[in-house]
Amino acid sequence: MAGPKQKTRRPKAEAPKGFRDWMGAELEARAAMLARVTEVYRRYGFDPLETPAIETVEALGKFLPDVDRPNEGVFAFQDDDETWLALRYDLTAPLARFYAQNQLHLPTPYRRYAVGPVWRNEKPGPGRFRQFYQCDADTVGTPTVAADAETCAMLADALEAVGVARGDYLVRINNRKVLNGVLEAIGLGDPEADAAARGAVSRAVDKLDRLGPDGVRLLLGEGRKDESGDFTKGAGLSAERVEIVMGFVGALRDDASATLGALRDLVGRTRAGAEGVAELDEIATLLDAQGYGPDRVRLDPSVVRGLGYYTGPVYEAELTFEILDDEGRKRQFGSVAGGGRYDDLVKRFTGQATPATGVSVGVDRLLSALRAIGRLEADSAGPVVVTVMDRARMADYQRMVAELRGAGVRAEVFLGGGNLGKQMKYADRRGSGVAVIMGEDEAARGVVQLKDLALGARLAAEIETNEAWKAQPAQIEAPRGELVAAVRAMLARAGG
């Protein structure tokens, strides 16, 4: 006798933890913003490049700061030939692989920009996702820090191009060589033997904006327990050495010259530190010559960047206006872009020194910022909807949308079922500005009815007299032959 039939378990209709869906106006806003950013990149002479979303784990390397996660922060799997593959965690490591593979056919320096999603196997949280978009620009093959200065200037221009006003952002610049000099001064000068401790110090300093000085002190020492109870092991520095590092983090002064002087005192006679300070001095001079003063860019020793492949100048773009957090407290919006010099990344493949530098814009973060200040640009108006009053006239309706589309007007025929009321509800839900109506009577007279949906929604609230109502009718009749012109006029009146 057969047992009871097993009930089929339905899958849950939910996105994986740390991932989200994007739709409609959000995607259009992202496309509009990216068009402005990449136009700035193009104006600076960069060409587009698209690389695969998946790379070999060996090619990506182990540079992520979240080393406690499985596969050291990447989503990895094994191919049929037992090669380990992973979703890319940024757009820079794939560029290094591409350049090493194609350098004989590329100009030197090679300047490229790239846009696309990246994935990190990190602990998700509020506003922190495991898939996000980046928009990068990099110069490969030049050792001069003039390329770093140019990148910082381009980043400032890109932020202004998308609508961030001057005074609402700051590009902050530092140099990993200066930090290396400080590390050498506290006895962590060997990049190989002291790799773990040096990495822990860099990761701790990089969290200054999020954790504040007290949190960084804990991470430089024995470690820190977060609000959830998770413990992060610290760098294990003594109290004296912790204060030396904190002195480096707090070396910012009123002007570039004073900051450089403070850094010179900290790094002492270390070779790496002296080189880093000299490079910062040159970058500041070059930017000042181009008119990028301290209101737009400035030296800031607290910037170190968390990724392990940076070798020289590093920079971050921070938005300085205030927003309210989830608990209603005021705080600065924070970082939306960052980058730096990575002179050893291509060398991993070729064995030859290949200097490179670049910047990455956090697309989702910048979109959130533009939304917060009301600067999102997107054509969020829905399509003109041609209603179906008589299914026998479907060919006529299709001809109408073909004319509208041919004239550059976004349009569709309603392909669902239902009466005119249901079709109007559909048009409202799509955010349509205009609905086109042609029934048997209109077809016999050679006219169409155009319903101004945007105006109709406002009439009751804004118009108080019959005269004003008649002067701004929400529905008009137009000759069939003048459909395109009449629709355009109605959309223009509604601002669409």
Which CATH number is 301's domain given?
A: 3.30.930.10
Q: Which has more pLDDT, 313 or 23?
A: 313
Computed over every residue of the chain, the mean pLDDT equals 88
Query: With contact defined as beta carbons under 8 Å apart, do 207 and 219 qualify?
Result: yes
Q: Can you tell me which residue has the tokens 């079922």?
A: 417
Q: Which has more pLDDT, 469 or 129?
A: 129
Whether the model clears a pTM of 0.85, i.e. scores above it, the answer is no
Asked if the model's pLDDT at residue 334 lies above 90, the reply is no
Asked if residue 429 and residue 347 are part of one domain, the reply reads no
Model pLDDT, residue 126: 73
Last residue of a domain, one of 348, 372, 396: 372
Residue type, 96: A
Asked if residue 430 and residue 296 are part of one domain, the reply reads no
Asked if residue 262 and residue 118 are part of one domain, the reply reads yes
Asked if residue 367 and residue 342 are part of one domain, the reply reads yes
Q: How many Cβ atoms are within 10 Å of 4's Cβ, its own excluded? A: 5
- The residue-averaged pLDDT of 160-181 equals 93
Last residue of a domain, one of 333, 352, 372: 372
β-bridge pairing 384-386 and 434-437: parallel
pLDDT, tens digit, 9 for 90 and up, residues 389-405 = 999 999 999 999 999 99
Asked if residue 339 and residue 401 are part of one domain, the reply reads no
Model pLDDT, residue 495: 62
Residue 296 sits at φ, ψ, to 5 deg, of -120, -45
Task: Tell whether the torsion through CA atoms of 113, 116, 121 and 123 is positive or negative.
Answer: positive
The domain of 432 spans 384-493
Asked if residue 423 and residue 331 are part of one domain, the reply reads no
Q: Is residue 9 part of a domain?
A: no
Asked if residue 421 and residue 279 are part of one domain, the reply reads no
Asked if the model's pLDDT at residue 68 lies above 80, the reply is no
Q: How many helices (H) and strands (E) does the chain have?
A: 18, 18
CB-count burial class (<10 Å; 0-12, 13-18, 19+) for 144 = middle
Q: Is residue 18 part of a domain?
A: no
Instruction: Tell me how many domains the chain contains.
Output: 2
Residues 44-56: b if buried by 16+ CB within 10 A, e if exposed? bebeebebeebbe
Asked if the model's pLDDT at residue 488 lies above 60, the reply is yes
Residues 160-183: b if buried by 16+ CB within 10 A, e if exposed? bbbbbeeebbbbbbbbbbbbbbbb
- The residue-averaged pLDDT of 295-311 equals 86
Model pLDDT, residue 195: 82
Give the angle 175-58-94 at the CA atoms, nearest 5°.
60
Asked if the model's pLDDT at residue 496 lies above 70, the reply is no
Asked if the model's pLDDT at residue 196 lies above 70, the reply is yes
Asked if the model's pLDDT at residue 91 lies above 80, the reply is yes
Asked if the model's pLDDT at residue 374 lies above 60, the reply is yes
**Cα separation of 339 and 75, whole Å?**
23
Can you state the angle between helices 271-289 and 146-161, rounded to 10 degrees? 50
Output the CA torsion 326→328→330→332 (10° steps): 20
| Peptide bond preceding 213 in cis form (omega within 30 of 0) | no
CB-count burial class (<10 Å; 0-12, 13-18, 19+) for 28 = middle
Asked if residue 333 and residue 443 are part of one domain, the reply reads no
Q: Is residue 324 part of a domain?
A: yes
Q: Is residue 349 part of a domain?
A: yes
pLDDT tier at 460, thresholds 50, 70, 90: very low
pLDDT, tens digit, 9 for 90 and up, residues 404-448 = 999 999 999 999 988 999 999 999 888 899 999 999 999 999 999
Structure tokens at 55: 């790379």
Asked if the model's pLDDT at residue 120 lies above 60, the reply is yes
